[in-house]
Amino acid sequence: MRDSPLGRRSCSVRGGALSDTTAGSGARESAVDRARSQITALIDELDLRPGERLPTEAALTDRLNTSRSTVREAFRQLEQSGIVVAVQGQGRFLSASGGLCVERPVTKYESITEVLTARGYRVTSAVLSVSEAEADAEAAAALEVEIGAPVIRLVRIRFGDDRPLVVSENIVPRELLPGPIEHRDWGGSLTAALAAHGEYVQTALATLSAVELPADWEAQFNLSGMGPWLLVTEVGLSISGRRVLHAKDYHRGSEISFTVLRQR
């Protein structure tokens, strides 16, 4: 991995592991989301240290040109995330964990392109296959649809500097991406495609495990001898809570890792 796992002010607080901003590409930003982002940016701008006090609600209401209730809700979310601590009668302070920064935290939802680009790679994609299919038991359970329900199955390789780094299998309910599949560019962002049809992937439930690639993929796509791979299996949920994406992303274990901040 090309970036350091932990570092003071090496990235914005809003990119930290404790940030609860999980909106993917194309997600709409509310007034509270905007205020929360502005407050975390201000923490960086003021170079606040753990234990130092943040500006008051009144001061931020004027500075951000928003309502007091919006600032209060933004603070509440930052407190829930562990970035800010409220002390009765004294104000709000940057927490110890809020002063840390975790690069590319596993808790933040990002597309594969965003992950690799942030690591400094020149990213290209190859579509291995795209087809209309029927949901098997695993996909049906993940997407909460009937077994045999129509889905689109997409398999791609993402290259970083012309080296295969991520092999992905993505499955989405067929009706979410209407039109003939041959008329769509499948090399681009799938979350952006879903967003264009009103399904903004905001949250994902993910499981990580170390595995080898499926044997048929290794043989068919000339990927033998590159394992083990870090498999991230996740279900993408839209703003409405609908399960819109079932993904299996095999990250090349020798090149990519994730960081998480652990707390007692």
Q: For residue range 137-160, list pLDDT tens digits in order.
A: 999 999 999 999 999 999 999 999
CA distance 103 to 256: 12
Residue 144 sits in the same domain as residue 227: yes
- Boundary of a domain, candidates 61, 77, 99: 99
Residue 236 has pLDDT above 90, yes or no: yes
Does residue 173 share a domain with residue 54? no
Mean pLDDT of the region 94-115: 71
Confidence of residue 29 (pLDDT cuts 50, 70, 90): low
Residue with tokens 């209060």: 72
Kindly state whether residues 23 and 91 are assigned to the same domain. Answer: yes
Query: Are 139 and 94 in the same domain?
Result: no
Predicted pLDDT at 24? 40
Indicate if 182 and 132 belong to the same structural domain: yes
CATH (domain of 175): 3.40.1410.10
Distance between CA atoms of residues 55 and 46, nearest Å = 10
Q: What is the mean pLDDT of residues 74-98?
A: 87
pLDDT, position 107: 66
The predicted model gives 123-146 an average pLDDT of: 96
In angstroms, the CA 40 to CA 44 distance is 7
Is 102:6 a contact under the CB 8 Å cutoff?
Answer: yes
User: Which residues contact residue 93 at a Cβ distance below 8 angstroms, ignoring those fewer than 6 apart?
Assistant: 50, 51, 52, 53, 54, 84, 85, 86, 87
pLDDT-wise least confident of 15-24, 29-38, 68-77, 207-216:
15-24
Per-residue model confidence as pLDDT tens digits over 14-23: 333 333 333 3
Domain count, the chain: 2
pLDDT at 115: 80
pLDDT value, residue 239: 87
Enclosing domain of residue 151: 112-252
Q: Specify whether 193 is located in the same domain as 240.
A: yes
| pLDDT > 90: percent of the chain | 55
What pLDDT, in 10s, does the model give residues 59-70?
A: 999 999 999 999
Q: Are residues 59 and 84 in the same domain?
A: yes
The predicted pLDDT at position 159 comes to 94
Give the burial class of 114: count Cβ atoms within 10 A of its Cβ; 0-12 exposed, 13-18 middle, 19 or more buried: middle
**Are 157 and 246 members of one domain?**
yes
In a domain, 104, yes or no: no
Lowest mean pLDDT among 6-15, 74-83, 115-124, 220-229: 6-15
Which one of 40, 69, 99 terminates a domain? 99
